[in-house]
A and B are shown apart, each in its own frame.
Chain A
Amino acid sequence: MLHIDTVSGHERRSTQELLLLIEAAVEQGETDFYIAASGQHDIGGPLWNRKGAPLTFTVRNPGQRVGAMCLPATTVLVEGPAPADVGWLNAGGRVVVRGDVGDTAGHCAASGVIYVGGRAGARAASLMKHDPMYDEPSLWVLQNVGSFSFEFMGGGRAVVCGLGCEKMSSVLGERPCVGMVGGIVYYRGQVSSLPAEVCVKELETDDIAWLESGLDDFLAAVDKQEACQLLADWSMWHKIVPEIGDEKRPDTVEDITAFRREAWIPGGIFGDVVEDNFQVSGLVACGDLRLREPVWQQEMQCSPQGRGCRDCGQCLKACPERAIARVHDDEGGYGYISDGARCIGCGICTAICPLGVWQMHVHLAEL
């Protein structure tokens, strides 16, 4: 084991000095480290032994990003607490912190395990994801996590044991799981203010099996075996998963018609001064909604010969709506009528009539 003390007298090794020292030792074949750190960043990764031997780091008083970018054969054990970004981008290492951890623990981790023997700060496991070529990542926290945790989580599993937090209104703080699209968050205790895109479910057999298979290892790592019986009461647990696939809520559909019928003022706000049935007419309309109407005026003596309709029937054939009919009486009299229920007021009859018997009546407004 290589024991590195980072403070000697009044001199402190910088992060850069410490990391270069560790890297050189790993290169020389050293696999076991004890580091009495003094806030140096990035202890633990990404490092590897050329022969594939495991690397072990026991660390006291690390700085941020301890266990960051850890590779699969690396184990980091922090004896006390650790600040922010524990296991940041963890790529397969085993990172154990016996005390509390700062914000964004497990941020963007894609593999490996992170064990926290106390509380985790805000944004724990945010953007944690699962690279399908490797085992899925997990983050275990003995107590609770801070607000905004599991934001945009895309994979992996987080376990929040809520030990001693039974009276907290939320073991996940405020607004957890916002934007969560994958993975599972197991928790024991209460949660609040979950966003619409996730849902809370009861544990299933698979979930319990997975938790049981990992609980002993976790508790042993953080030296809290005595909590095992209490935590293994799975009836106290729930899980949060994103609503995807069939469970995804449909996008909000505006239903103004239903709102108008159910909640709006009955009959409309102008119902006392104007009649309106709310029916919608097309741009081409018949009957009273026509903008013009043709009138057959036999008395229109507008032909050069001073005669009216010659009964040629062209209007009848040309009418696109088949709205014109020829009527006759017993004495040989005849006439043409336009059926208002069919006529759209286009004026084709007016145009086609060689004698101008059909006349369009235009109503600019009906006042």
Chain B
Amino acid sequence: MVQDVSVGDLRWNIVWQRDVCVMCGSCVAACSFHAIEVVRNRYLRGSVHISGEHSGQTPAPRLAIRQIADSKCACRGCGMCAKVCPVGAIQPVRNYDNRMSMLSRCVGTPKRGGRHGGVQRRTLDTIMVGRISQMTDPALDSERHLFDIRAPLGRVMPVSDLPLQVEGERLKVAGRTPPVRWIYPLIFSDMSIGALSTRAWEAVALACAYLNERCHLPVRMCSGEGGMPVRLLESEYLKYMILQIASGHFGWNRILTALPRMKVDPAAVLIKIGQGAKPGDGGLLPAAKVTPHIQAIRGVPGVTLHSPPNHQGLYSIEEAVQKMHLSCNAIFGFRVPVAIKCAVSATSVAVYNNLLRDPYNICGGFFLDGIQGGTGAANEISLEHTGHPVVSKLRDCYRAAVAQGRQGQIPLWAGGGVGQTGNAAADAFKLICLGANGVFVGKILIQLLGCVGNEQGRCNACNTGQCPTGICTQDPRLVRRLDIDRGAENIVGYMRSFDAELRKLLAPVGNSSLPVGRSDALVTSDKAVADKLGIQYAC
């Protein structure tokens, strides 16, 4: 029938070489999408002949590996079949003439499964660190100079507002100042327990602790909105964690009840208003991923979980700032910085201006999450068509603060696609020069764990519970595929490279500390970008 789905309609096709295959069955066994099967075809010429004695009546059976022509178990191109094949007989190839963007919408629900080439050109890729210290001032030795690579998280008070008193010839601090943590300028961004498997989440937490304890890199990790493991809440490692409270408030019962047993304060609390991958759209954890431990940590039944697109108790920006910030500050006795994360929007500067008023000195950071972040779990309509690039809006926010002489008071943290090309250090450095105090990354962390997804639609089955790498699934059989130690090792190694590469950029511009707002260090090959960001045009 015309409407029947054929493999030619699917996004990926399996190429299988019958003359090479030894019919070990590994590819079929490894495929978590059930996209391929073994079939018997006695008429199939040249298909694999299983040796053995056969009676005269039974023709020698011939077996073949065949892709299943069903959009529900369509090949995602993850390549696990190719990874396990001992003879290189099978691999997925991209099928450019597929009809999936139609077929996957024929079921009456929004299409999910990542971006499919709808990513915009990256502004950061037009920017170069073009102001090199040479004759004007000495460049630094990137490997040996003692750099101060720290970024503030917390409300930084201007000196004029500090409660300082002169006593005799000494300055004395008389009164409270807001808490500020000076941390590494890259935060492991919020991916929830639930969205990630226990092993994946633990691998990121383990890498974070290792970086602090063994590598002197004070990286912090944000919990995501799925709560926190109680054992972590009650351990010393809590000091490396940023606790997120989002619209679903998932897991906060266990966080609050753990308070009397906490040995240390967490690094910060992050109020999530929105996220760049799906701004204005709430979170959604499909029932397939709401396993008993997720139900326990989040305090919910095993059904599909929605996080509303907005906080139910917040009706205005003033409430968002004052009520929410006050409550979150109060949880830890005003000892822990509280920051807020929003999806980047045309209105971001208005929000930042409102935050900057901050009459109670309780706003410890503004996290701007751009459109290029997110995994394959979000609806494609949100991923590709909703949101705002982070670069220009970060710049606008920074300049708005500069115009008021308030830059640096409420730290700006930028994310959403940082590290998308693999080099997070270059992205971070450029964003810092444009006014960010630091950056946050999410997707590259799971890619370091072993995720094979990319921006061109490979895999991106994060919403299905069938993640072949055991990262975005709660299926214990798939989760067991993930090696926590090796995953964490990749993240630790990447962060050490990140640190070394950051120094390679700090050195030539001659900065010992992070060059926040040093836009003179940047040039761009795009005139429009130059005009918009206020940096030099170069060609």
Contact = CB atoms under 8 A, between A and B. Distances in A.
Given A260-B206, A273-B296, A290-B477, A364 B288 contact: yes
B232 to A, nearest CB: 4
B38 interface: yes
Interface in A1-26: none
B269 to A, nearest CB: 19
A254 interface: yes
Contacts of B229: 269-270, 272-273
Contacts of B466: 364
- Looking at chain A's contact residues, is the secondary structure mostly helix, strand, loop, or mixed? loop
A264 B84 CA distance: 32
A284 interface: yes
A366 B302 CA distance: 13
B196 to A, nearest CB: 11
B488 interface: yes
A292 B416 CA distance: 38
B309 interface: no
Given A179-B144, A280-B480, A284-B84, A346 B465 contact: no
Interface string B294-334: 00110000100000000000000000000000000000000
A351 B40 contact: yes
Interface in A259-290: 259-260, 263-265, 267-274, 276, 278-285, 288-290
Contacts of A350: 38
Interface residues of B, number: 71
Contacts of B485: 256-257, 260
A318 B296 CA distance: 45
Nearest to B209: A264
B50 interface: yes
B18 to A, nearest CB: 14
Contact of A365 (B61, B465, B489): B465
Interface string A276-308: 101111111100111110000000000000000
A172 interface: no
A251 to B, nearest CB: 11
B213 A263 contact: yes
A151 B108 CA distance: 69
A192 interface: no
Nearest to B482: A280
Contact of B493 (A254, A270, A347): A254
A260 B486 CA distance: 11
Contact of B297 (A254, A273, A312, A354): A273
A345 interface: yes
A143 B34 CA distance: 78
Interface string B57-73: 01001010000000000
A346 B481 contact: no
A351 B63 contact: yes
B50 A318 contact: yes
B481 to A, nearest CB: 6
B483 interface: yes
A346 B27 CA distance: 8
Nearest to A319: B25
Nearest to A258: B485
Contact of A264 (B23, B26, B206, B476): B206
A287 to B, nearest CB: 10
A281 B199 contact: no
Nearest to B50: A318
A269 B23 contact: no
B61 A178 contact: no
Contact of B481 (A179, A256, A280): A280
B16 to A, nearest CB: 14
Contact of A178 (B34, B144, B475, B488): B144
B149 interface: no
A280 B483 contact: yes
Contacts of B476: 366
Interface string B28-42: 111110100111100
Q: Counting chain B CB atoms within 10 Å of each CB, which of A178, A268, A271, A312 scores highest?
A: A268
B63 A318 contact: yes
B210 interface: yes
Contacts of A273: 229, 292-293, 296-297
A103 to B, nearest CB: 13
Nearest to A360: B37
A66 B229 CA distance: 68
Interface string B9-21: 0000000000000
Contacts of B479: 276
A362 B31 CA distance: 12
B488 A352 contact: no
Contacts of A366: 475-477
Q: Point out which of B80, B141, B480 has the most chain A C-beta atoms below 10 A from its C-beta.
A: B480
Given A289-B480, A312-B55, A346-B25, A283 B84 contact: yes
B295 to A, nearest CB: 9
Interface string A135-154: 00000000000000001000
B30 A347 contact: no
B195 to A, nearest CB: 15
Interface in A297-343: 312, 314, 317-318, 320-321
A348 B26 contact: no
Given A259-B206, A352-B63, A283 B80 contact: yes
Contacts of A284: 26, 29-30, 84
B25 A347 contact: yes
B490 to A, nearest CB: 10
Given A283-B83, A365-B465, A366-B475, A354 B492 contact: no
A230 interface: no
B202 interface: yes
Given A283-B80, A348-B63, A351-B40, A274 B293 contact: yes
A256 B34 CA distance: 34
Contact of B29 (A178, A254, A257, A344): A344
A256 B40 CA distance: 47
Interface string A349-364: 0111110000000101
Contacts of A133: none
Contacts of B482: 280
B231 interface: yes
Contacts of B210: 254, 256, 259
Contacts of A291: 29, 31-32, 34, 477
A290 B29 contact: yes
Contact of B61 (A254, A345, A346, A352): A352
B513 interface: no
Nearest to A289: B477
Interface string B211-232: 0011000000000000001111
A367 interface: yes
Q: Which of A178, A291, A320 has the most CB of B within 10 A?
A: A291
B198 A348 contact: no
Given A263-B213, A270-B202, A367-B302, A278 B29 contact: no
B25 A367 contact: no
20 contacts: A178-B144, A179-B144, A195-B144, A256-B488, A260-B485, A283-B481, A285-B481, A289-B480, A291-B477, A292-B34, A314-B61, A318-B61, A347-B37, A347-B38, A348-B25, A348-B38, A354-B58, A364-B465, A365-B465, A366-B475
Given A285-B477, A345-B29, 6 more contacts: A259-B214, A274-B198, A347-B25, A347-B38, A348-B25, A352-B61
Interface of A: 151, 178-179, 195, 254, 256-257, 259-260, 263-265, 267-274, 276, 278-285, 288-292, 312, 314, 317-318, 320-321, 344-348, 350-354, 362, 364-367
Q: Nearest 7 A-B pairs (CB), nearest first?
A: A346-B25, A273-B293, A351-B38, A317-B52, A269-B229, A283-B30, A344-B29
